[in-house]
């Protein structure tokens, strides 16, 4: 159950969030809980989550350990801050920062794995692509570009997030059946590339206007193994309700 804060919250806000959130989910043993705050908040979040069942991840990564790359964070730096996960290929990164270019997501995924971080690789279609009946083709292409060159051992460490772009920040939510069907496409492609066992063990999260009132119905679908929450993860009580569905 992952929360993506995007470009919200100061370090002071982050501390206040964790002070309220950690006790609310302390009894949640049925899932892994992850918060991905802005880079400026990472060390505060790691310290505030210390000793709890809440993990912290970054929102982006730059391939390479170190170098003259102003404004970027390598997996080495992210790991040294105490993080365990990193989001890769989020739709906003694809739309605004050229992460849709071939091999970009793959390189970032490999960089995460080399730093012993768990990559959460995001895939998803635009509204025009869904209306043009291109959803399956888009998901297969993005999956192959991002993960197709990994070894079986590398793929076993990856989490995939399906985020229909038309349902992010719009108030629209894919029905449980729409989400389940998309997850099935992803799992089928995983089986093609890495085998049935790898496909069955792959965790696929749903992200797209997840809220406390729809989390339970989404999670009732066997194909949905978790959620990637945006706006609803900014409020500790709201996100706790999702985690404790």
Residues tagged active-site: 90, 163
Backbone angles phi, psi at 20, to 5 degrees: -85, -40
d(CA 97, CA 158): 22
- Alpha carbon separation from 130 to 3, 22, 192 (Å, rounded): 25, 38, 23
Task: Identify the CA nearest to 229 among candidates 52, 131, 87.
Answer: 87
- Alpha carbon separation from 115 to 74, 81, 149, 208 (Å, rounded): 9, 12, 18, 28
Contacts for 184-192: CB closer than 8 Å, 24+ residues apart: 184/223, 185/135, 185/136, 185/139, 185/140, 186/123, 186/139, 186/143, 186/160, 186/162, 187/223, 189/139, 189/140, 189/143, 189/144, 190/143, 190/155, 190/160
Q: Provide the b/e sequence for 66-77 (b: ≥16 CB within 10 Å).
A: eeeeeeebbbbb
As a whole number of Å, the end-to-end CA separation of the chain is 11
């Amino acid at each position: 159950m992952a929360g993506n804060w995007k470009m919200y919250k100061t370090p002071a806000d982050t501390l206040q969030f964790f002070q309220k959130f950690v006790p609310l989910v302390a009894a949640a043993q049925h899932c892994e809980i992850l918060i991905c705050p802005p880079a400026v908040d990472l060390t505060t979040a790691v310290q505030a989550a210390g000793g709890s069942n809440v993990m912290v991840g970054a929102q982006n990564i730059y391939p390479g350990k170190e170098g003259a790359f102003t404004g970027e964070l390598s997996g080495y730096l992210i790991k040294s801050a105490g993080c365990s996960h990193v989001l890769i290929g989020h739709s906003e990164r694809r739309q605004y920062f050229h992460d849709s270019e071939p091999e970009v997501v793959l390189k970032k995924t490999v960089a995460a794995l080399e730093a012993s971080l768990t990559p959460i690789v995001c895939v998803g279609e635009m509204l025009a692509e869904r209306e043009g009946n291109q959803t399956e083709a888009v998901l297969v292409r993005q999956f192959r570009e991002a993960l197709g060159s990994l070894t079986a051992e590398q793929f076993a460490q990856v989490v995939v997030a399906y985020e229909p772009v038309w349902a992010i920040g719009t108030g629209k939510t894919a029905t449980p059946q729409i989400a389940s069907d998309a997850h099935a496409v992803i799992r089928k492609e995983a089986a093609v590339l890495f085998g049935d066992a790898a496909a069955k063990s792959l965790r696929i999260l749903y992200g797209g206007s997840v809220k406390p009132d729809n989390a339970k119905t989404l999670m009732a679908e066997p194909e949905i193994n978790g959620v990637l929450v945006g706006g609803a993860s900014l409020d500790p009580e709201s996100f706790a309700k999702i985690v404790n569905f």
